[in-house]
Amino acid sequence: MLVREGKKVLLVRRGSEPGKGKWALPGGLVKPGERVEEAAVREVEEETGIRVRLRGLLGVYDLIERDSRGRLRYHYVTVCFRGKSLFTRVRKGGEVLEARWFSKEELKGRELSRVTARVLREEGMLE
């Protein structure tokens, strides 16, 4: 989920694949029977301690990874929402290594997941 507070964006450093060690938008798997919107809100809170209110759908993104022979390793579909933080104090949780707010300037040189980099470019936060 893309959560912005003023000119800052909320990111987590992933503790598991795909993208282990990279900075990414908070999110995760949908539990059986859970609506995707509920999962998005739950995952942001689990990973960052931040409660959010959904502000609409941002986009749907494919993450397809192949091995050196071209065989499919995995295919994830990311449903990305916009969210509004209800408070700003971050508390790392879940399977993430870190969680924090980043300004546009602080994003330079960070190793970002592919989907996160794409979303942030589309939002004008990356060149």
C-alpha to C-alpha distance for 59 and 22, rounded to whole angstroms:
21
Please state the rounded mean pLDDT for residues 43-58.
96
Amino acid found at 6? G
Is position 43 annotated as part of the catalytic site? no
pLDDT at residue 118, as a whole number: 95
**Mean predicted confidence (pLDDT) in 48-73:** 95
The CATH number of 2-122 is 3.90.79.10
* Predicted pLDDT at 5: 93
Residue range 70-97: mean pLDDT, rounded: 93
pLDDT of residue 17: 84
Integer angstrom CA distances of residue 55 from 37, 66, 83, 113, 123: 10, 33, 5, 23, 15
Catalytic residue among 5, 38, 95, 98: 98
pLDDT confidence of residue 7 = 93
**What would the mean pLDDT of 14-29 be, rounded to a whole number?**
93
Average pLDDT over residues 54-75: 95
Residue 38, SS3 per DSSP: helix
Alpha helices in the chain (DSSP H): 36-48, 104-107, 114-122
Give dist(CA 43, CA 93) in Å, integer. 10
Mention every residue, 6+ apart, whose C-beta is less than 8 A from residue 104: 7, 125, 126
Task: Tokens 């909320």: give the residue.
Answer: 10
Mean pLDDT of the 47-72 span: 95
**pLDDT of amino acid 19:** 87
At CA 62, angle to CA 58 and CA 68, rounded to 5?
Answer: 150
For the chain, the structural domain boundaries read 2-122
Per-residue pLDDT at 127 exceeds 90: no
Model-level pTM?
Answer: 0.92
